[in-house]
Amino acid sequence: MSKEQLYTDLTQQILTMALSPGEALDETRISEKYKLSRTPIREVFRQLAGEGYIQLLPNRGATVASMDHQTLRQFFMTAPMLYTAIGQLAAQNRERGVDALQTAQSAFKRAVEASDVDGMSMHNDTFHRAMGDLAANPYLKPSYERLLIDHARINRTFYRVTNEGDESRVHEAAAHHDQMIAAIEAGDVSAMSQLVDEHWGLSRDHMERYVRPDPLQVGWKLA
């Protein structure tokens, strides 16, 4: 297999939580599985570390980027600011085209219809990364892409396809994507700002529902 395949597989496994935060990446096992020497594996690790997927720690090797209470706090503080800025810039850059957004959106809708949770996570990530490409801001893009990694992981952690209301939420998210594409094509920065705010609110409320569940009833006892 190639370095490119290793990179793709590791990013997908991290975004879908198949590899847990803080989990060690075993070079020996990866070398055997992908038939790669240590040099190309470490090149992939350095790329992933630079993008925020993993951490390279002295005497500990490579581990999946951690995610703790501080991560959650910083995520919820930063996400609305970055998402709004990227959305506005994307609308301003409509001449760059929305083909990548439309391709990702088509794949996302197929995953929604198939109730494919991993597919939804991956194609949603692709959609929003394409929006970052469209925004084309060299100062915001690295932070935005780092944010998307934890957004995918947090959302994947708390998403359960069988929970009441989740199906309607993903359909609403898909509708937001369509509306965002239309706003970008129209160069409507104001509409894009509102859509980003609604889209973020949908995601935030969804995640907070599981971070902060309803308490057990007073007097509840173990059987």
Query: What is the pLDDT tens value at each position of the chain, 223 positions in all?
Result: 789 999 999 999 999 999 999 999 999 999 999 999 999 999 999 999 999 999 998 888 999 999 888 888 899 999 999 999 999 999 999 999 999 999 999 999 999 999 898 898 899 999 999 999 999 999 999 999 999 999 999 887 655 544 555 678 889 999 999 999 999 999 999 999 999 999 999 888 777 766 655 555 655 555 5
Domains in the chain, please, with CATH?
3-64 (1.10.10.10), 69-211 (1.20.120.530)
Can you say how many angstroms the Cα of residue 82 is from the centroid of all Cα atoms in its chain? 14
Q: Measure the CA angle with vertex 41, ends 11 and 37; round to 5°.
A: 145
**For residue 194, what is the enclosing H or E element?**
helix 189-211
| DSSP 3-state of 98 | coil
Amino acid at 61: G
Report in angstroms the alpha-carbon separations of 66 from 20, 76, 158. 8, 16, 17
Q: What is the DSSP letter of 36?
A: -
Report in angstroms the alpha-carbon separations of 208 from 117, 147, 199, 204. 19, 17, 14, 6
